[in-house]
């Protein structure tokens, strides 16, 4: 494993109690960062054997006020937020677009897209003041290609890609990078929300013939959030096992 140096950096990872998020927390900890997991599942966070210098906070990314308070708490205790990974997300149930329940659409958009905006809106001004920051948004290959029977998820992740490009350009004159990753599916608890038909469809589209491993995503993101990434911004990094067509 290549060693990335995140010493003296404070990282916030949303949805960090499991899956991609927890794998990134472990990798950042191994790289000597101070890591704060933001998640709304308190029981899950309490069950974790946390890596060194890793802390947990109950945060609902659909609540702007909750994010404001949580960010201020982090700043008061740790004095900076150098790294933000917007990872929290849900897949939502599988329906044809015209049959998709309105309330389920709203849940997906609120967490997967609005949550990214809220966290960025709160934390970016502190990064501007420090003239340093690294933001990585976890999008999805679905945001590039659009998965059938997953229209809200696909639309939200496409929104995350566009948000990343806009924000990255706005901050391009500062030492702040904003990038996103478009992973193929990985076998995490998000699969519990999906039909077997949808899982089989996703696997059939991956030329490598297997799902992504969570530590493979953590490996890429650990470089993106490091000081070494001093030039790339407003970019999309593919992690789709060859599925992406652009």
**Do residues 188 and 177 make contact, with C-beta atoms less than 8 angstroms apart?**
no
- Residue 2 confidence (pLDDT) above 90: no
CA 12 to chain centre: 10
Nearest to 14 by CA among 65, 104, 101, 89: 89
Q: What is the pLDDT of residue 188?
A: 75
CA gap 212, 240 in Å, rounded = 8
Active-site residue, from 22, 100, 118, 153: 153
Give the residue-averaged pLDDT of 122-148.
96
- Residue 187 confidence (pLDDT) above 80: no
Q: What is the pLDDT of residue 190?
A: 67
Residues in the chain: 246
pTM of the model: 0.94
If one counts every other C-beta atom within 10 angstroms of the C-beta of residue 175, the result is 14
List, for residues 232-241, the tens digit of each pLDDT value.
999 999 998 8
If one counts every other C-beta atom within 10 angstroms of the C-beta of residue 51, the result is 15
> What are the residues facing 239 on neighbouring strands?
183
- Higher pLDDT among residues 1 and 162, named by residue: 162
Domains present along the chain, CATH in parentheses: 10-230 (3.40.50.720)
Q: What is the pLDDT of residue 198?
A: 80
- Residue 127 confidence (pLDDT) above 70: yes
Asked about 153 being catalytic, the answer comes back as: yes
30: Cα within 13 Å, side-chain hemisphere: 15
- Residue 1 confidence (pLDDT) above 80: no
CA 4 to chain centre: 19
- Residue 191 confidence (pLDDT) above 80: no
- Residue 17 confidence (pLDDT) above 80: yes
CA 45 to chain centre: 17
- Residue 112 confidence (pLDDT) above 90: yes
Give the residue-averaged pLDDT of 108-137.
98
- Residue 245 confidence (pLDDT) above 80: no
Give the residue-averaged pLDDT of 110-138.
98
Rg, the chain, Cα only:
17
Q: What is the pLDDT of residue 176?
A: 98
Query: Which two tokens mark 152?
Result: 């809200």
Q: What is the pLDDT of residue 195?
A: 77
List, for residues 201-232, the tens digit of each pLDDT value.
888 889 998 989 999 999 999 999 999 999 99
List, for residues 25-44, the tens digit of each pLDDT value.
999 999 999 999 999 999 99
Interhelix angle for 151-170 vs 102-109, to 10°? 30
Q: Buried (b) or exposed (e) across 132-167, using 16+ Cβ within 10 A?
A: bbbbbbbbbbbbbbebebbbbbbbbbbbbbebbbeb
DSSP annotation of 30 reads: H
């Amino acid at each position: 494993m290549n060693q990335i140096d995140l010493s003296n950096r404070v990282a916030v990872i949303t949805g960090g109690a499991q899956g991609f998020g927890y794998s990134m927390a472990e990798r950042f900890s191994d790289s000597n960062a101070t890591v704060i997991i933001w998640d709304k599942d308190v029981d899950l966070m309490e069950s974790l054997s946390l890596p060194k210098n890793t802390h947990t906070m109950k945060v609902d990314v659909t609540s702007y006020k909750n994010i404001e308070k949580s960010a201020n708490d982090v700043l008061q205790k740790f004095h900076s937020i150098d790294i933000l990974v917007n990872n929290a997300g849900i897949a939502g149930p599988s329906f044809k677009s015209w049959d998709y329940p309105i309330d389920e659409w709203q849940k997906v958009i609120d967490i997967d897209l609005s949550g990214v905006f809220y966290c960025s809106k709160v934390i970016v001004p502190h990064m501007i003041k420090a003239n340093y920051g690294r933001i990585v948004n976890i999008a999805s290959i679905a945001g590039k290609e659009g998965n059938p029977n997953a229209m809200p998820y696909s639309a939200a992740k496409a929104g995350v890609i566009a948000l990343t490009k806009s924000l990255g350009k706005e901050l391009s004159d500062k030492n702040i990078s904003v990038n996103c990753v478009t992973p193929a599916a990985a076998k995490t608890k998000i699969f519990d929300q999906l039909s077997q038909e949808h899982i089989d469809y996703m696997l059939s589209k991956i030329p490598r013939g297997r799902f992504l491993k969570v530590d493979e995503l953590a490996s890429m993101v650990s470089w993106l959030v490091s000081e070494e990434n001093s030039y790339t911004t407003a970019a999309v990094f593919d992690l789709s096992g060859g599925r992406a067509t652009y």
